[in-house]
Chain A
Amino acid sequence: MLNNRNIVIGIAGSGGDGVVSAGEILVNAASSDGLFVFMLKSFGAQIRGGECSVRVRISDLPVQSQGDRIDVMVVLSWSNFLRFRTELLLKDNAVILSDTDDPMPDKDVPLNDQQRELWYKIPFSKLANEKTGSSLAKNIVMLGAISELFSLPKEALNKSVHKKFRNKPDDIIESNIKAMQAGTDYVCEHVEKKDPLRFEYEARSPRLVMQGNEAVAMGAIYAGLEFYAGYPITPSTEIMEWISRYLPQRDGITMQMEDELASINAIIGASFAGRKAMTATSGPGISLMTEGIGLATMAEIPIVIINVQRGGPSTGLPTKTEQADLMQAIWGSTGDSPRVVIAPCDVEDCFDCTVMAFYISEKYQMPVIVLSDQFIAHRTESVSPDAIRGTKEGFRKTYTRDIPNEEELKEYRRYKFTESGVSPMSYPGIPGGEYLGSGLEHDERGYPRGDAVSHQKMTEKRWKKFEYIKQEFRFERFYGPLDAPLGVIAWGSTKGAVKEAVNKANAMGIAVGALVPQLIYPFLLDPFNEFMKNKKRVIIPEMSFSGQFKRYLRGFIRFGDYGVKDVAYAKAGGSPFTVEEILNKIIEVWKDMEARR
Chain B
Amino acid sequence: MERYGGQTMNEAKKAADYRSELKPIWCPGCGDFGFLNAMYKALEELQLDPANTVVCSGIGCSSRISGYVKAYSFNGIHGRVLPFASGVKMSRPETTVIAVGGDGDGFSIGAGHIGHAARKNINITYVVLDNNIYGLTKGQASPTTPLGVRTKTTYYGNMGTTFNPVRMLIAYKASFVARTFSGDPKHIQKILVEAVRHPGFAFIEVLSPCVTFRGQDQYKILRERVRYLDESYNPENEVEAFDIANDENMLALGVIYKKIRPTYDEIIQQNVISKAKAASNGVAKIDKLLEQFQP
User: Which residues of A are interface residues toward B (Cβ below 8 A)?
Assistant: 27-32, 156, 160, 163, 206-210, 214, 218, 221-222, 226-227, 229, 245-246, 248-251, 253, 255, 257-259, 261-275, 277, 291-292, 295, 299, 382, 385, 388-390, 400, 403, 426-440, 447-448
Does A208 contact B294, Cβ atoms closer than 8 Å?
yes
Known: A249-B283, A292-B80, A295-B76. A274 touches B87 (CB 8 A): no
- Interface readout for B45-58 with A: 1 if CB under 8 Å, 0 if not? 00001111110100
Does B87 contact A227, Cβ atoms closer than 8 Å?
yes
Most chain-B CB neighbours within 10 Å: which of A206, A229, A438? A438
List B54-90 residues whose CB lies under 8 Å from chain A. Answer: 54, 56, 66-67, 70-77, 79-80, 82-90
List 13 interface pairs A-B (beta carbons < 8 Å), by A numbering. A160-B295, A209-B294, A251-B1, A255-B87, A255-B90, A261-B79, A274-B4, A277-B91, A385-B290, A428-B95, A432-B51, A435-B72, A436-B75
List B86-107 residues whose CB lies under 8 Å from chain A. Answer: 86-92, 94-95
Among B163-171, B177-185, B232-240, B269-277, which stretch is in contact with chain A? B269-277
Does B87 contact A229, Cβ atoms closer than 8 Å?
yes
The distance in angstroms between the C-alpha atoms of A258 and B6, with both chains bound, is 31
* CB-contact partner of B73 in A214, A258, A437, under 8 A: A437
Closest A residue to B281 by beta carbon equals A249
Closest approach, in angstroms, between the C-beta of A303 and any C-beta of chain B?
Answer: 10
The distance in angstroms between the C-alpha atoms of A226 and B1, with both chains bound, is 8
Closest 3 CB pairs of A and B: A269-B87, A248-B276, A266-B87
In the complex, whether B12 has a CB less than 8 A from a CB of chain A is no
Known: A257-B116, A258-B116, A429-B6. A265 touches B77 (CB 8 A): yes
* CB-contact partner of B86 in A251, A255, A291, under 8 A: A255
* CB-contact partner of B91 in A31, A269, A433, A438, under 8 A: A269
List B266-295 residues whose CB lies under 8 Å from chain A. Answer: 268, 272-273, 275-277, 279-280, 283-284, 286-287, 289-290, 293-295
Closest A residue to B6 by beta carbon equals A429
In the complex, whether B113 has a CB less than 8 A from a CB of chain A is yes
* B283 contacts across to A, CB distance below 8 A: 249-251
Does A269 contact B293, Cβ atoms closer than 8 Å?
no
Closest B residue to A382 by beta carbon equals B295
Does A269 contact B84, Cβ atoms closer than 8 Å?
yes
User: Which residues of B are interface residues toward A (Cβ below 8 A)?
Assistant: 1, 3-7, 20-22, 49-54, 56, 66-67, 70-77, 79-80, 82-92, 94-95, 112-113, 115-116, 268, 272-273, 275-277, 279-280, 283-284, 286-287, 289-290, 293-295
* A258 contacts across to B, CB distance below 8 A: 112-113, 115-116
The distance in angstroms between the C-alpha atoms of A262 and B72, with both chains bound, is 21
The distance in angstroms between the C-alpha atoms of A261 and B83, with both chains bound, is 8
Does B277 contact A248, Cβ atoms closer than 8 Å?
yes
Known: A226-B1, A227-B87, A273-B54. A434 touches B276 (CB 8 A): no
Known: A265-B80, A266-B84. A437 touches B295 (CB 8 A): no
Does B51 contact A265, Cβ atoms closer than 8 Å?
no
Known: A436-B73, A437-B74, A439-B76. A226 touches B91 (CB 8 A): yes
Does A439 contact B84, Cβ atoms closer than 8 Å?
no
Given A218-B286, A274-B4, A448-B22: 6 more A-B contacts, CB < 8 Å: A209-B295, A248-B277, A265-B76, A268-B87, A292-B80, A436-B20
The distance in angstroms between the C-alpha atoms of A291 and B51, with both chains bound, is 28
Does A272 contact B66, Cβ atoms closer than 8 Å?
no
The distance in angstroms between the C-alpha atoms of A227 and B83, with both chains bound, is 13
Known: A207-B295, A265-B76. A428 touches B88 (CB 8 A): yes
* B77 contacts across to A, CB distance below 8 A: 265, 291-292, 295, 439
Does B279 contact A249, Cβ atoms closer than 8 Å?
yes
Closest approach, in angstroms, between the C-beta of B140 and any C-beta of chain A?
Answer: 20
* CB-contact partner of A430 in B4, B20, B115, under 8 A: B4
Closest B residue to A403 by beta carbon equals B4
* B268 contacts across to A, CB distance below 8 A: 248, 253
Does B54 contact A277, Cβ atoms closer than 8 Å?
no
Does A249 contact B87, Cβ atoms closer than 8 Å?
no
Closest approach, in angstroms, between the C-beta of A365 and any C-beta of chain B?
Answer: 15
* CB-contact partner of A434 in B72, B79, B85, B272, under 8 A: B72
The distance in angstroms between the C-alpha atoms of A554 and B286, with both chains bound, is 42
* B22 contacts across to A, CB distance below 8 A: 436, 447-448
* A222 contacts across to B, CB distance below 8 A: 286
Closest approach, in angstroms, between the C-beta of B101 and any C-beta of chain A?
Answer: 13
* CB-contact partner of B284 in A28, A156, A249, under 8 A: A249
* CB-contact partner of B95 in A29, A250, A429, A440, under 8 A: A429
Does A434 contact B87, Cβ atoms closer than 8 Å?
no
* A253 contacts across to B, CB distance below 8 A: 90-91, 268
The distance in angstroms between the C-alpha atoms of A257 and B86, with both chains bound, is 10
The distance in angstroms between the C-alpha atoms of A124 and B113, with both chains bound, is 53
* A266 contacts across to B, CB distance below 8 A: 83-84, 86-87, 90
Known: A249-B277, A265-B84. A427 touches B72 (CB 8 A): yes
Does B293 contact A428, Cβ atoms closer than 8 Å?
no
Does A249 contact B280, Cβ atoms closer than 8 Å?
yes
Does B70 contact A429, Cβ atoms closer than 8 Å?
no
Closest approach, in angstroms, between the C-beta of A536 and any C-beta of chain B?
Answer: 44
Most chain-B CB neighbours within 10 Å: which of A208, A210, A427? A427
Most chain-B CB neighbours within 10 Å: which of A265, A292, A299? A265
Closest A residue to B280 by beta carbon equals A249
Does B51 contact A433, Cβ atoms closer than 8 Å?
yes
Closest approach, in angstroms, between the C-beta of A551 and any C-beta of chain B?
Answer: 29
